[in-house]
Structure formats: C-alpha cells, structure tokens
Amino acid sequence: MRSIWNGAISFGLVSIPIKLVNATESRSVSFRQVHAADGGRIRYRKVCELDGEEVAQADIGKAYEDADGTMIPITDEDLAALPLPTAKTIEIVAFVPAGDIDPLQMDAAYYLSASGVPAAKPYTLLREALKRSEKVAVAKYALRGRERLGMLRVVDDVIAMHGLLWPDEIRAPEGVAPETPVSVKDAELDLADALMATLGEVDIDSLHDDYREAVEEMIAAKAAGGEGLAPPEPEETGGGKVIDLMAALESSVRAAKEARGEPAGVTELRPRAKESARSRATPKETGTKKSTARTAKRTAAAPARKSTSTASKASKSSERASDGSTRSLAKKSTAKKQTAQKGSVQKESARKATPRRRTA
C-alpha cells in the first residue's frame, strides 16, 4: 500500500520511524457528469472572476475570505513559519481506556507501518504495551496543512490510528430528542429485548452492499445492450399512520425467527410483561371484557348455586322432619308413661279404699 505520510511516533524519548497508509477505501460506484443530449463529458474549468481567464493549477494560491468579503492572501511560506511541532511527528500525549473516546469523534482510519528494520523493535514494544495495558494512545499529528487529534490502537499485529475530531467540533444534540414526554411499558421493552435476542449477533464480514451490487448488475446489463432493471414496487411505509407498537414488535419477532429458520411461536414474556400485555387494552375494551367475564362467571355459577340451594333446602327439610318425628315420638312416649303412672296410682287408691272381708 502506498504511504501518504512519513514521519515518526514520539513515545517519550523513544522515536519510531513510521509510514502512514490508508486503512479504508471507498467501494461506491462513481459516475461522470455528461451532456444528456450527446453524452459528452462535462468538465470543470477554474476561471478567474476578474478577467474571465482559465487559470492553471500552478497559478492558484490560497486566501482567507474576511467577513466583509476581503480576500487575505496566505502563502506556503506563511504557513511554514507557523510553529507546528507535529508536522513530522505523531506525538503521544496520554494513554486512556478505549471507552473514554466518544465514537462521535472517530474520523478517518490509518495503518502505521514501521519504516525500516531499526524501527521494528520500538514499534513492537509500543504495540505490546498497548495490548497489555488494554488502553489506547491519544496523540497529535499534522496532515494536509493542519494539526489533528488521533487515537492509536492495536489491530491484529499492526498499530492503527484513527483520526479524531477535536472536542469543540462535536455538536451538542440540542433539539434532536423527542420534545414530548413518552413512557415505555415493560411489555414493550420485553418485546424489544426478544427482538434483539432473535436477531442475535452477526459476522460483520458477511455483510455486503446490496445496492452497489444492484448498480453493478444494471451497468453490466446496459453495457451488454440490454435494458435497465424494472423499478421495484413502492413499499408502503405507513406514512403518518399511528401504529400499534406491541403488534409491530410481535410481528418483527416472528419475522426475525422465520428468517433464521426458527419456529415462529408465541413469544414467551416474563410475568410482569404478561401482566402489562393484559393491561394494555383500552379502558372500554377492558370494562367490556371484565363485564363479559363476570356475566359468564355468574351464568356458570347460577346452576351450581341453585343446586346447592335446593340441596340445602332439602337437607334442612329433612332435618326438620326428622327433628319433628323425634319430638313427636318423645311426646307420645312421655304421654304413655304419664298415663301408665296415673292408672297405677288410681288402682292403688281404690285398693286401699275397699274394706277387707273378715273370715269367720
């Protein structure tokens, strides 16, 4: 790979000669601007606004446009005279945990290649130190006429550097978050978790640019004298329709499972999610369902209550009859005893009252 910058890494008093090469490349299909009538290329010419003459690249200089439109010429000598200690040096200023770097600051990526045999030992020392510390190095460097911020980390057996934006180049996210307060239910969070778990992890190397492939196929078809591809049917995006979030999440989980070849069964939610899912119906629907459930419960319970009531009445009647019979028998028995005792008393009284006959 061709180097775009040569210099050294300054690691304390250690200097490591390196070469800077691009770690990324654009694979997007590029197009030329042409005249639609005849297909001729459209080219840009650099023309001076004062005299209308085309200007060669060698005759083009730099200038800063002031607020009032005044052009202030800046020469290469002016820039060279500025103190820029990192013009040929990547100066490490600190070692920090990788989590301290905000991904929003990430910019272009480069590989740092050891320049020459003598650089191999200090290069390897820095690489292994970064590995063992599990930290990244924050550094300053200059590229294309300006000082920049960078982060050094280990990728396989190579030291890579990510260009970083300066902290004051990151905009605050003002006015980006939803302005109206929104509450999220536990059931919705659980379904989102289920969807994330169903989608699972992915091998990043297996992902590819479908659109770029379609563009390349279309170009190949037209180059062969054929027609372009038929435009796809427009998909319904729903526009401004209000969607049922729970239904959308459930459908997404089912679709993700089907795409992975898994059975698209009912998603098992945690107990709190089940309770929340039952309570997400509208008040009217909830009242109707509760009323219907109560009616059905009463209807089902009515025969049982009636049967129980009848049985209870029969039992009580039987008890009363039995109790009445017992009392009746007891009364009859008492009356017989009283009659018998009365008769016995009367007989005894009559016997005493009758005079005895004397025997001669």
Q: Residue 88 is part of a domain; what is its CATH number?
A: 2.40.290.10
161 and 19 within one domain: yes
191 and 119 within one domain: no
Is 23 within a domain?
Answer: yes
Q: Which residue has the higher pLDDT, 351 or 231?
A: 231
283 and 248 within one domain: yes
CA dist 348 and 353 (Å) reads 9
- pLDDT (tens digit per residue) in 41-71: 999 999 999 999 999 999 999 999 999 999 9
CA 69 from chain center: how many Å? 49
Share of residues in the chain with pLDDT > 70 (%)? 69
Is 236 within a domain?
Answer: no
pLDDT number for residue 244: 77
112 and 191 within one domain: no
**b/e 7-44 (16+ beta carbons within 10 angstroms → b):** bbbbbeeeebbbbbeebeeeeeeeeeeeeeeeeeeeee
Q: Which of the four pLDDT bands, split at 50, 70 and 90, describes residue 243?
A: low
- 90, 9 Cβ separation under 8 angstroms: yes
Does the pLDDT value for residue 257 go beyond 60? yes
Q: Which of the four pLDDT bands, split at 50, 70 and 90, describes residue 191?
A: confident
Least confidently predicted of 23-32, 172-181, 269-278: 269-278
Is 294 within a domain?
Answer: yes
- Average pLDDT, stretch 70-95? 88
- pLDDT (tens digit per residue) in 155-187: 999 999 999 999 999 999 988 888 899 898 898
Task: Pinpoint the alpha helices (H) of 1-119.
Answer: 76-80
- 20, 3 Cβ separation under 8 angstroms: yes
CA 257 from chain center: how many Å? 17
CA dist 19 and 8 (Å) reads 8
Q: Which domain holds residue 250?
A: 185-197+243-304
Please state the pTM of the whole predicted model.
0.60
Does the pLDDT value for residue 327 go beyond 60? no
Does the pLDDT value for residue 78 go beyond 80? yes
Is 69 within a domain?
Answer: no
260 and 122 within one domain: no
Q: Which of the four pLDDT bands, split at 50, 70 and 90, describes residue 88?
A: confident
The burial class, CB within 10 Å (0-12 / 13-18 / 19+), for 342 is exposed
Least confidently predicted of 39-53, 152-166, 197-211, 344-358: 344-358
pLDDT number for residue 265: 59
Residue where one domain finishes, among candidates 282, 304, 326: 304
pLDDT number for residue 9: 93
155 and 12 within one domain: yes
The encoded tokens of residue 96 equal: 């920090």
118 and 190 within one domain: no
pLDDT number for residue 264: 63
Q: Which of the four pLDDT bands, split at 50, 70 and 90, describes residue 99?
A: very high
190 and 104 within one domain: no
Residue reference for tokens 């004062």 = 50
258 and 159 within one domain: no
257 and 127 within one domain: no
pLDDT number for residue 218: 87
pLDDT number for residue 268: 52
Determine the angle formed by the axes of helices 271-278 and 186-199, rounding to 10 degrees.
120
Is 321 within a domain?
Answer: no
The encoded tokens of residue 4 equal: 């775009």
Does the pLDDT value for residue 220 go beyond 70? yes
107 and 16 within one domain: yes
Residue where one domain finishes, among candidates 279, 304, 329: 304
CA dist 86 and 75 (Å) reads 20
CA dist 220 and 335 (Å) reads 125
Residue where one domain finishes, among candidates 257, 279, 304: 304
Over the chain, what is the mean pLDDT?
77
pLDDT number for residue 351: 53
287 and 142 within one domain: no
Is 103 within a domain?
Answer: yes
**Which residues neighbour 90 within 8 Å (Cβ) at sequence distance 6 or greater?**
7, 8, 9, 10, 18, 112, 139, 140, 141, 150, 152, 161
Count of domains in the chain?
Answer: 2
Going by C-alpha positions, the residue among 84, 220, 189 that lies closest to residue 147 is 84
Is 158 within a domain?
Answer: yes
Is 155 within a domain?
Answer: yes
